[in-house]
Amino acid sequence: MLNFTRSRNQPRPSRSMPFGGMEYADPKRKSNVVGKILLAATLTALCILMLKQSSNFNTPSPFSRHEPGVTHVLVTGGAGYIGSHAALRLLKDSHRVTIVDNLSRGNLGAIKVLQEQFPEPGRLQFIYADLGDAKAVNKIFSENAFDAVMHFAAVAYVGESTLEPLRYYHNITSNTLVVLEAMAAHGVNTLIYSSTCATYGEPEKMPITEQTPQVPINPYGKAKKMAEDIILDFSKNSEMAVMILRYFNVIGSDPEGRLGEAPRPELREHGRISGACFDAASGVIPGLKVKGTDYKTPDGTCVRDYIDVTDLVDAHVKALNKAAPGKVGIYNVGTGKGRSVKEFVEACKKATGVNIKVEYLARRPGDYAEVFSDPSKIDHELNWTAKYTNLQESLRVAWRWQKAHRNGYGTTPLAMAS
């Protein structure tokens, strides 16, 4: 007869036993898991404690605190053509710079160049954000200790503004209001505003002074004037230091070849004449299209005041240095000399060494015949005058950058030729 009973002194199996489709866990294994969890938690708490006791853990970012002798400037649109050149100059002058840009028109490559030039901690930071997002803008202001704002960020093509006016009013006027409200809420009391001669429209008398009536004739100029009006109305009951710079047609690039103008391909038809000239010279487009030959000017083409970007940036820096609480300064930034489009094209041919093909077309909507500045006020009050006034030389410097960066900031620069 078989014995099915187990002796009492027979040891129980150590493995778990299945019963009814279930499995009972081994208590020893469970205690091991609990022990590991406790050990991990203890080590984590110990690491956190050690980090908190370290000198770096509790040290706030240098961008989040005011520092004596250091001016922290927020540069909106600092990835763009003019904004990046302004950021470069501010960094060279030992300012602390925060760039805010949504990269819709700017170039991340320009930011990388600036970061390579100024890699030291606490010098430069880039924040990807849209100024139309008030919540994001307020967060940026709450986390950073700004001393001043240089507000460049804006769409800025006259022709495009006539096709997409609402976009321009949102991007320029509404976004400026968001920036101004954030400045007021967080006690940032210095604003250098990037405006334009387009706010004057087509004056009957030349040259244009700061007293010339502002009667803009395209949405770009109208949006900028609205933004100016908002700033001026707010300044009447505040101690904000305000400088408004109305500048003319910008050309050129960094003389040392670090930065240049690199508009997006889809925007070339709306862009500056210098960009079109360079595209024609490099074969990107078959030739140059000059729009309008029947204006009341000596040669029938538009007359403009061309200001080198290096001079323009210098004007912004001098405005920053002269800004005073409760005071408003409004200045034209130009050379005081008008050049026709035909003159510009001839200078571009000489600067590039290319006999550019030119096609003359009908006028572009929203353009005006003749615009050039009287810069005597900014000369007298800010001791600023344009130095880079040789049109051909400014174009030669810009062309040198263009040749070394065939695809803008998207490729490794070629060797720079003198």
Tokens at 224, concatenated: 């900028």
Q: Where are the alpha helices (DSSP H) in 54-157?
A: 81-92, 108-117, 134-143
Length in residues, the chain: 418
How many Cβ atoms are within 10 Å of 10's Cβ, its own excluded?
A: 7
Amino acid occupying residue 219: P
Catalytic member of 157, 220, 247, 409: 220
Look at phi and psi of residue 206 and say left if phi exceeds 0, alpha if psi is from -120 to 50, else beta. Answer: beta
CA distances for 169 relative to 222, 386, 417, angstroms:
8, 31, 42
Give residue 367's identity as a one-letter amino acid code. Answer: D
Please state, as a whole number, how many other Cβ atoms lie within 10 Å of the Cβ of residue 396: 18
Separation of alpha carbons 311 and 313, rounded Å: 5
Catalytic residue status for 81: no
- Extract the tokens encoding 172: 């320029």
Closest to 125 measured CA to CA, from 153, 106, 146: 146
Measure the CA–CA gap between 14 and 96, rounded to whole angstroms.
Answer: 68
Q: State the Cα–Cα distance between residues 256 and 397, nearest whole angstrom.
A: 9
Spatial distance between the Cα atoms of 195 and 154, rounded to a whole number of angstroms: 10
- Tokens 């849209």 belong to 130
257: left (phi over 0), alpha (psi -120 to 50) or beta: left
In the numeric block, which tokens belong to residue 146? Answer: 């700004």
CB atoms within 10 A of CB 18: 9
Nearest to 186 by CA among 79, 321, 74, 329: 74
149, 179 Cβ separation under 8 angstroms: yes
Vertex 59 angle, CA 55 and 64, to 5°? 170
Give the DSSP letter of residue 218: S
For residue 311 the two structure tokens come to 């001079």
Helix (H) or strand (E) holding 318: helix 309-322
- Which positions are annotated as active-site residues? 220
